Structure 1
């Protein structure tokens, strides 16, 4: 198929220029994010596992609402701490990508395993300006996002739900249900522990 740019009748000078919008975020916020990235790199990204309380303290200095017992591994990448909330004993594993342009809430005892991707941002593909759109993610208590799974914008993971390894969630995951695959499909219910049932 011949490219239109090789067509002698095609006049590139007569074509409309592509729309390039300005920065999505204000300069002040971009500077704050740069400061956050530098601080995490210098003071947290290299720290060993037992220093999780220190990493939580640093995250709270940038606006995160993290319980003192929550765990964030040093290799996790958090876009902006001010959009992160973690409950008691919640856990964010090694290599997790937390792209939280909108709020991400990880409730008590919920686990996000290694290299999972929590993504609150997308783009409007029907707008030629391709603007950023975002919706929050909520992971309710006792839920588990397994290794390398993807949780998309607006997803609510019900209490005790499981998203299996490399699963892709684009919609609501019902409580105490195990999901696998891309797109994630329910495969069975999950047994509740005695503590969770109380």
Structure 2
């Protein structure tokens, strides 16, 4: 069956992956962030938290988001105490993205909370949540794929590509990322 035949057989399939309301909220968010968030001075973390919360994000009062970070859909973002989303981070939160207490997402890292079903003729978007555990570190330019859990105290090295769960207190690096060694445990 061709893609056109599939669309004619079931016209509801193949439509937008997200509702009109969802898409309008993302459009409004993009405008607000572009005008009021992206150009704010680096120390104005409270201002950026205010903007994100106004659009549905759940952020602890000590979470820090840098102005050049890109958040796709604020209602799907949750950040704990002293969690950091660094400069140039891409937070593609189609699915819920949770960044726990004291976790650090370093510059230009990419958290990708969604994918496509390659066997679906309509190639619909599929949200898949990501969790970055407490005291974990996603280093510069690393990629965390859809549905991945980065464990407590885990570390993904610079430019590492995590496509499966990273266990607690382990250091992973490479493409695809694999275990390098255990990380020394600490508490804050």
Pick the TM interval, shorter chain. Answer: over 0.9
CA RMSD of aligned residues (A): 1.4
The Cα offsets for residues 73-131 of structure 1, whole Å up to 9 and x where unpaired, read as 00000001100000000000011000001100000000000000000111111122111
The residue that corresponds to 1:137 in the other structure is 130
Q: TM-score, normalised by structure 2?
A: 0.92
1:145-181 deviations in Å (ceiling 9; x for gaps): 0000000111001100000001000111011100000
Indicate which of 87, 91, 96 corresponds to 1:98: 91
Q: Distance in 2 between matches of 1:31 and 1:89?
A: 31
Q: 2:59 aligns with which of 52, 56, 66?
A: 66
The structure that has the greater radius of gyration is 1
Secondary structure of the corresponding residue to residue 43 of structure 2:
helix
The 8 Å contact of residues 3 and 122 in structure 2, kept in 1 or not, is answered as no
Which segments of 5 or more consecutive residues in structure 2 lack a partner in the other structure? 8-13
- For the residues of structure 2 that align with 1:19 and 1:79, how far apart are their CA atoms? 30
Secondary structure, counterpart of 1:28 in structure 2: helix
Counterpart of 1:127 (choices 120, 132, 145) is 120
Q: CA deviation at 1:17?
A: 3.6
- Mapped to 2, the partners of 1:48 and 1:16 lie a distance apart of 48
The TM-score with structure 1 as length reference comes to: 0.88
5+ long unaligned stretches in structure 1: 1-14
How many residues are treated as equivalent by the alignment? Answer: 181
